[in-house]
Amino acid sequence: MAPQQPCVLVVEDENAQREVLKYNLEAEGFGVVLAENGDEALLLVREENPDLIVLDWMLPNVSGIEVCRRIKADPGTRAIPIVMLSARGDEGDRVRGLETGADDYVVKPYSVVELMARLRTQLRRTRPATMGERLIFDDIILDAGEHRVFRDGQPLHLGPTEFRLLSTLMEKPGRVWTREQLLDRVWGRDIYVDTRTIDVHVGRLRKALMTHGGTNPVRTVRGTGYALG
């Protein structure tokens, strides 16, 4: 199974704009979820837990600014990067968008190439493994680009599932992941896997990480899930 592709929630009320964004994002290898208005966006951000949000300012009913404010005010969603799209290019509008919580602000009409570059920049910050970055935690090095893992300088042999599991844990050391969250990130949103399966793969990952000795870095959080460190 290939690594789980990053999911982008596109919130845009104009159908033509939605389809252009969807086409270009999918061409870049992203999974795409579409919303036509602010209410739908607020529902989908909870249901889909996207890795990134592309948010139009001018939306019917609930504006993009208000959607941004609510997402960033919620501890469960505030870490999701938001790139705001708007025809409003004045300095005051940019400042308002960024002060509301947007991580980046792109003025319409925009360059698709530039927009994709900005999205990749946000994902390097929040999901570096999907961008081929090298991750380091204590004496563990995960090279996502070359698909290799080392501990204390020694190569480790991980199966594809254990590699994706480790990359998820290493992207946010210390974060406690529930089994459901790990299954969603490692296996994908459209595949049903029993949550007990995660325990089996965590066991395999721990065994692999301790091949050359050393302590077990994967911590069990009773009644919740797992964390690295």
Domains of the chain: 7-126 (3.40.50.2300), 133-228 (1.10.10.10)
| Angle, CA 225 vertex, CA 224 and CA 229 arms, to 5° | 120
Q: Are 54 and 10 in contact (CB under 8 A)?
A: yes
Tens digit of each residue's pLDDT, the chain (229 residues): 444 678 999 999 999 999 999 999 999 889 999 999 999 999 999 888 899 999 999 998 899 999 999 999 998 899 899 999 998 888 888 899 999 999 999 999 999 999 999 999 998 888 888 778 889 999 999 998 889 999 999 999 999 999 999 999 998 899 999 988 888 888 876 667 787 888 999 999 999 999 988 899 999 999 899 999 8
Helix spans in the chain (H):
15-27, 38-48, 64-73, 91-100, 112-126, 160-171, 179-187, 196-209
pLDDT tens per residue across span 30-53: 999 999 999 999 999 988 889 999
Q: Please report the sign of the dihedral spanned by the C-alpha atoms of residue 126, residue 130, residue 134, residue 139.
A: positive
**Confidence at residue 189, expressed as pLDDT on a 0 to 100 scale:** 63
Residue 76 CA: distances (Å) to CA of 47, 112, 160, 214: 12, 30, 29, 34
Between CA 15 and CA 17 the distance in angstroms is: 5
